[in-house]
Amino acid sequence: MRRRSLVIATASTALVVAAIVLLVPLAPGWERVQKAFFNGEVFWKTFPGLVKAFLVDIMIFAWCAPMIAVLGLVIALARDARSPALFPLRLFGMVYNDVFRGVPVILVIYLVGFGIPGLGLPRPWNSPYIWGTVAVVLTYSAYVAEVYRTGIESIHESQRAAATSLGLSHWDVMRFVILPQAIRRVIPANMNLLIALQKDVALLSFIGPVEVLRQAGVYKSLLANFTPYLGAALIFLAVTVPATRWVDRMIARQNAARS
Partner 1 sequence: MAKLSVRDVWKSFGAHEVLRGLSLEIDKGQMVCLIGASGSGKSTLLRCLNLLEPVDDGEILLDGQDITDPDLDPQPVRQRIGMVFQSFNLFPHMTAVENVLLAPRRIRRKRREELLPEAEALFARFGLVDRMGHYPDQLSGGQQQRVAIIRALAMRPEVMLFDEVTSALDPALVGEVLDVLRALKAEGMTMVLATHEMAFAREAADKICFLDEGRILEEGPPSAIFGAPREDRTRGFLARVL
Partner 2 sequence: MRLAQFTLSAAMALALGANAAMAQNDCAAGKTLKEGVLTIATGNPAYFPWVIDNDPASGKGFEAAVAYEVAKRMGFAAEKVEWTSTTFDQAIQPGPKEFDFNLQQYSITPERDQTIDFSEPYYNAAQAVLVRKPTVDAGAKPELASLKALKWGLAAGTTAPALIASLVGPESDPLLYEDTADVSEALKAGQIDATLMDLPSALYTAAVVLDDGVVLGQFPAGETPADSFGLVFEEGNALKDCANAALAEMKADGALAAIEAEWLAEATGAPVVK
Binding site for partner 1 (CB under 8 A): 156, 158-159, 161-169, 172, 176-177, 180-181, 184
Whichever of 188 and 217 has its CB closer to partner 2, that residue is: 217
Instruction: State how far the Cα of 36 lies from the Cα of 41, in Å rounded to an integer.
Output: 11
Q: Which of partner 2, partner 1, none does residue 48 bind (CB under 5 to 8 Å by kind)?
A: none
CB 65 within 8 A of CB 57: no
Cβ closest to partner 1, residue 127 vs residue 164: 164
Identify what 150 binds: partner 2, partner 1, none; CB under 5 to 8 Å per kind.
none
CB of 116 to partner 2, least distance (A): 8
Q: 3-state class of 124 per DSSP?
A: coil
Nearer to partner 2 (CB atom), residue 145 or residue 207: 207
Please, which residue, 47 or 131, has the CB nearer to partner 2?
131
Q: How far apart are CA 129 and CA 240, in angstroms?
A: 23
Q: Which does 32 bind (CB under 5 to 8 A by kind): partner 2, partner 1, none?
A: partner 2
Task: Work out the burial of residue 1: count CB atoms within 10 Å of its CB; fewer than 13 is exposed, 13-18 middle, 19 or more buried.
Answer: exposed
122 touches which of partner 1, partner 2, none (CB within 5 to 8 A by kind)? partner 2
CB 232 within 8 Å of CB 212? yes
CA 181 – CA 154 distance, rounded (Å) = 9
- Choice between 52 and 175, CB closer to partner 2: 52
First to last CA, the chain: 28
Residue 177: CB minimum distance to partner 1, A:
5
Asked if the bond preceding 117 is cis, omega within 30° of 0, the reply is no
Contact residues toward partner 2 (CB under 8 A) are 29, 32-33, 35-37, 114-115, 117-118, 120-123, 126-128, 205-210, 214, 217-218, 220-226
CA 234 – CA 36 distance, rounded (Å)? 16
Residues 57 and 201: beta-carbon distance below 8 Å: yes
Which partner, partner 1, partner 2, none, binds residue 102 by CB below 5 to 8 Å per kind?
A: none
217 contacts which partner out of partner 2, partner 1, none, CB within 5 to 8 A by kind?
partner 2
